[in-house]
Chain A
Amino acid sequence: MATEPPRAPVPTAVTAPPPAAGAERRRLEVASLSAYYGSAEIVRGVSITFRDREVTAIIGPSGCGKSTLLRCLNRMHETVPTAHVAGSVSLDGRDIYAKGVNAIEVRRHIGMVFQRPTPFPTMSIRDNVAAGLQILGRDKPSRAETDHIVEDALRRTALWDEVSNRLKDSAIGLSGGQQQRLCIARALATRPAVLLLDEPTASLDPISTQKVEELVYELRRDMTVVIVTHNMQQAARVSDRTAFMLMGELVEIAATNTLFTTPSDSRTEAYITGRFG
Chain B
Amino acid sequence: MTDINAPRGPASPPKPAVRTARPSVMQRAAAERTQTTIGRRRVVNVVMVGVTFGAAILATLPLIFILGHLIVAGASSINVDFFTQIPKPPGEAGGGMANAMVGTLVLILAASAFGLPIGIGAGLYLAENRGTHLANAVRFLSDVLNGLPSIVMGIFAWQFLVKPMAKFTALAGGIALGAMMIPLVTRTTEEMIRIVPVSLREAALALGYSRWRTSLVVVLRTALPGIVTGALVAVSRIAGETAPLLFTVLGNQFWSASLREPIAALPLQIFNFAISPYDQQHALAWAGALVLIGIVLIISLAARFATRSRFGLGGD
Instruction: Answer whether A and B are interacting partners.
Output: yes
**Chain A residues in contact with chain B, CB under 8 A?**
74, 76, 79, 104-105, 107-108, 111-112, 114, 116, 118, 120-123, 131-132, 135, 170, 172, 183, 186-187, 190
Is B218 engaged at the interface, CB distance under 8 Å to the other chain? yes
Determine if A183 and B208 form an interchain contact, defined as CB atoms under 8 angstroms apart.
no
Interface flag for B66 (CB, 8 Å):
no
| Residues of B participating in the A interface, judged by any CB pair closer than 8 Å | 197, 199-200, 202-210, 213, 218, 221-222, 224, 310-313
| Minimum CB–CB distance for B252 against chain A, Å | 42
User: B312: which A residues are within 8 A, CB to CB?
Assistant: 121-122
Residues of B within 8 A of A107 (CB): 205-208
Contact B204 A120 (CB under 8 A): yes
Contact A131 B313 (CB under 8 A): no
Given A79-B205, A107-B205, is A170 in contact with B199 using a C-beta cutoff of 8 Å? Answer: no
B306 to chain A, nearest CB (A): 14
Check B202–A121 contact: CB distance below 8 A: no
A76 in contact with B203 given A120-B222, A121-B313, A170-B311 (CB within 8 Å) = no
User: Are A118 and B200 touching (Cβ within 8 A)?
Assistant: yes
For A122, the chain B residues whose CB sits under 8 A away are: 218, 221-222, 224, 311-312
Contact between A76 and B205, CB atoms less than 8 A apart: yes
> Which residue from B207, B224, B310, B311 sits with its C-beta under 8 Å from A135?
B207
Which of A120, A172, A190 is within 8 Å of B208, CB to CB?
A190
Complex alpha-carbon distance, A37 and B224, angstroms: 32
Q: B196: nearest residue on chain A (CB-CB)?
A: A121
Q: Nearest-CB distance from A276 to chain B (Å)?
A: 30
Query: Could you list 7 further interchain pairs (A-B, Cβ under 8 angstroms) beyond the known A114-B203, A118-B197?
Result: A74-B206, A79-B205, A121-B313, A122-B221, A131-B204, A135-B209, A190-B207
Instruction: List residues of chain B with CB within 8 A of the CB of A118.
Output: 197, 199-200, 202-203
- Which of B202, B208, B221, B311 meets A79, CB within 8 Å? B202
